[in-house]
Amino acid sequence: MREAFSNALVRLALADSKVLLLTGDHGYSLFDEFRKRCPDQYINAGIAEQNMVGMAAGLARVGFRPFVYGLAAFVPIRTVEQIKLDIAHDDLPVVLLGDGAGFVYSHLGTSHQSTEDIACTRAIPHLQVLSPADRLEMTAVMDYAYATIGPVYLRMGKADLGDVHDGPISSLQQGRLLKVRDGRADRPGLIATGSMLRAAVDIATSLDLMVWSAPFLKPLNVDDVRSTAKATNGLVTLEEHSVLGGLGAAVSEITSEHQPTRVLRIGVPDRFSEHCGTHAYLLREHGLDIDSVRERVRAYCELLASNSIALA
Amino acid sequence: MASTIIDNSIIPFDPARMRRTVLEMAYAGSTVHIACAFSIIELLTVLYRHHLRYPGNDPRAEGRDYLVLSKGHGVMAQYACMHELGWLENSHIKNYFKDGTDLKGLSDSRVAGLEVTSGSLGHGFSVGVGIALGLKQKGTDQKVYAIVGDGELNEGPIWEGALVASHHKLENLMLIVDKNGFQAMGTTDDVLALGDLTAKLTSFGFETLEVDGHDEFVIDAAIRRLWESSPSKPKALIARTVKGKGVSFMESVNLWHYTRLNPQSFAEAISELGFSGTSK
């Protein structure tokens, strides 16, 4: 997935000399290819993220297409005000790349973990928020981010979970969900984003549930979400992000207004990680490991089934 | 340098009249930050009269120089100059702060002529650094001026930007410090002392000059000297100014960061500027 990211960036930069990569002194081996092939389009802005994001706004103002890379804990979180004021306010074509979102930097602690970035960016006007789940979505969202000519936050989480989609995503449309798996209509459907799509598909296979991927967290297509609510008996959202303000919130905002249904929001509880450990360990700590999630989804299926019987 | 000669030298940009426009706006809108605008009047009149190039008098012309007002609190001074250029109408002055109007109390980039949205401090300079880097990469001879307040120098991103400007040899960038010695809650020395600013900026790699920020002749000469100085270095003009300059009861009285005009103080201020009444 990281290779797909690097490949897309190099391809875009070779095709358009206005594409610049700015990094806050991160991405050591990730940008080897970019630095080799597009050395004049590479700017290491130093460990100075706020200035870097402001600078990106200035570069965009005079016609460049900056891609600004940092860890999600810094871009966007450390620079939310620069994103709001310097970039989004004027709809400038800057792509913000937040790497290592969620618990990727599991051993490093709270400083490098990022479970609030979707909530913080979703409320910024003009800013689109993208969250690819696999290599194929990554390629598609990079092309989309370049083509959209406006401010984009691209959230990059755990990247080594393998492909979910069968082949290239030819036409990624703004805000649209991607249906990944069909399943039973009398059970809840799963909507997952980023790193949680893999688990969603595995769980859905054993319980025969429908699954959609949400590469867009903002905008999120109202008709698509309404359709998922209509097609299923309840919804479950899955994300490696706080249960507050992320995918679960975005889906609930739409369903509550347009197609009321029950929504179980599975994500990071409203607290910081307590312990050190592997990514898998931290998922367990927060109840996001596949066994815990499967159990919650199974119980939810039963709850909704018994509710339906009670209502009937 | 030939590139700094422009048509606007025939427009007077009389500082007293610019101050009168600021007073008229502040009075019409019953608003604050008068003193913040008064300290940068001569810096702006010199820049607009002699240095800033706007092809076709178009504030959004692609080949323009960029004036980034990082200290957005001084925006009324810029409005006054934009009015002088014909970019703003009399009605903009008269209707300042009326519901549904465009001109705000801080710089807003959606207004043609204002390059950044500032007021939250420490933003504009970084944007200016990015503009300068982009223009340098494009190989144009356009210039970028970024006006920051001395209080604004408390903000970290300013110093991040200073490192970057020097590292990338942005000789097309001029940082102008409005050194009026005050910030919102007191003197800069009392709140967070800046020490030897010339030494600081010089050590950051800037070609630096310090001047009387109300002497137009001296400001103009310093700007020319800086542009002609060592290539490959960003420039810094430290302008010693007086917050509230031009109206005796406002000068170095920090209350005028926050105080609104009443009919009496308005009339007195206008009269001190040498006018018998308002312009319209």
d(CA B144, CA A217): 37
Average pLDDT estimate for A38-46: 97
- E strands present in A104-246: 128-130, 152-155, 178-181, 189-192, 211-213, 216-218, 235-242
d(CA A127, CA A80): 11
What is the average pLDDT value for chain A, to the nearest integer?
A: 96
If contacts are CB pairs under 8 Å, which of residues 65-94 in chain A contact chain B? 81-82, 85-86, 89-90
Which of A46, A56, A90 is the closest to B130 by Cβ?
A56
| % pLDDT > 90, chain B | 92
Residue-wise burial string across B79-106, b where 16 or more C-beta atoms lie within 10 A, e elsewhere: bbbbbbbebbeeebbebbeeeeeebbbb
**pLDDT class for A311, splitting at 50, 70, 90?**
low
Q: Is 60 exceeded by the pLDDT of residue B28?
A: yes
Q: Is the pTM of this model over 0.90?
A: yes
Q: Is 60 exceeded by the pLDDT of residue B2?
A: no
* Chain A interface includes B126 (CB < 8 A): yes
Q: Is 90 exceeded by the pLDDT of residue B8?
A: no
Q: Where are the domains of chain A?
A: 2-155, 178-311
Q: Is 70 exceeded by the pLDDT of residue A75?
A: yes
Find the Cα–Cα–Cα–Cα dihedral B268, B272, B275, B278, rounded to 10°: -40
- Which pLDDT tens digit goes with each residue over A239-251? 999 999 999 999 9
Instruction: Taking the CA atoms of B227, B230, B234 and B239 in sequence, report the sign of the dihedral they define.
Output: negative
- Residue B128 near residue B152 (C-beta atoms within 8 A): no
Q: Is 70 exceeded by the pLDDT of residue B278?
A: no
Average pLDDT estimate for B154-180: 98
Pick from A41, A43, A47, A51 the residue to mutate for testing the B interface (most B CBs within 10 Å): A51
Q: Is 90 exceeded by the pLDDT of residue B127?
A: yes
* Chain A interface includes B211 (CB < 8 A): no
Q: Is 60 exceeded by the pLDDT of residue B280?
A: no
Statement: A2-155 belongs to CATH 3.40.50.970: yes
* pLDDT in the model for residue B51: 97
d(CA A206, CA A200): 10
List the single residue in B with minimal CA-CA distance to A44: B164
Q: Does residue B1 or residue A306 have the better pLDDT? A: A306
Q: Is 90 exceeded by the pLDDT of residue A150?
A: yes
- Which pLDDT tens digit goes with each residue over A112-122? 999 999 999 99
Q: Where are the domains of chain B?
A: 9-272
Size of interface A-B (CB pairs under 8 A): 90
Q: Is 70 exceeded by the pLDDT of residue B7?
A: no
**pLDDT class for A310, splitting at 50, 70, 90?**
low
Average pLDDT estimate for A125-134: 98
Pick from B108, B111, B121, B133 the residue to mutate for testing the A interface (most A CBs within 10 Å): B133
Q: Which CATH architecture has domain A178-311?
A: 3-Layer(aba) Sandwich (3.40)
Q: Do B129 and A55 touch (CB under 8 A)?
A: yes
**With contacts defined as CB-CB under 8 Å, which chain B residues touch A50?**
122, 126, 156-157, 160
- E strands present in chain B: 66-69, 144-149, 173-179, 182-183, 186-187, 207-212, 235-240
Q: Is 80 exceeded by the pLDDT of residue B3?
A: no
Q: Is 90 exceeded by the pLDDT of residue B230?
A: no
Q: Do B109 and A64 touch (CB under 8 A)?
A: no
Q: Do A86 and B123 touch (CB under 8 A)?
A: yes
* Chain A interface includes B163 (CB < 8 A): yes
* pLDDT in the model for residue B48: 97
* Chain A interface includes B128 (CB < 8 A): yes
Which of B109, B130, B156 is the closest to A55 by Cβ?
B130
Q: Do B129 and A85 touch (CB under 8 A)?
A: no
* Chain B interface includes A54 (CB < 8 A): yes
Q: Do B126 and A85 touch (CB under 8 A)?
A: no
Q: Do A62 and B164 touch (CB under 8 A)?
A: no
Q: Do A85 and B123 touch (CB under 8 A)?
A: yes
Which of B110, B131, B157 is the closest to A58 by Cβ?
B131
- Which pLDDT tens digit goes with each residue over B43-88? 999 999 999 999 999 999 999 999 999 999 999 999 999 999 999 9
Q: Do B127 and A61 touch (CB under 8 A)?
A: yes
* Chain A interface includes B129 (CB < 8 A): yes
Average pLDDT estimate for A132-158: 97
**pLDDT class for B4, splitting at 50, 70, 90?**
very low
Average pLDDT estimate for B148-174: 98
Q: Do B156 and A50 touch (CB under 8 A)?
A: yes
* pLDDT in the model for residue A308: 73
Which of B117, B128, B163 is the closest to A58 by Cβ?
B128
**pLDDT class for B276, splitting at 50, 70, 90?**
confident
* pLDDT in the model for residue A178: 97
* pLDDT in the model for residue A170: 87
ipTM field: 0.94
Which of B120, B128, B164 is the closest to A85 by Cβ?
B120
* Chain A interface includes B47 (CB < 8 A): no
Which of A43, A60, A89 is the closest to B117 by Cβ?
A89
Classify domain B9-272 at the CATH class level: alpha beta
Q: Is 50 exceeded by the pLDDT of residue B31?
A: yes
Q: Do A62 and B134 touch (CB under 8 A)?
A: yes
Which of A229, A226, A238 minimizes the C-alpha distance to A283? A238
Domains A2-155 and A178-311 share a fold: yes
Q: Is 60 exceeded by the pLDDT of residue B243?
A: yes
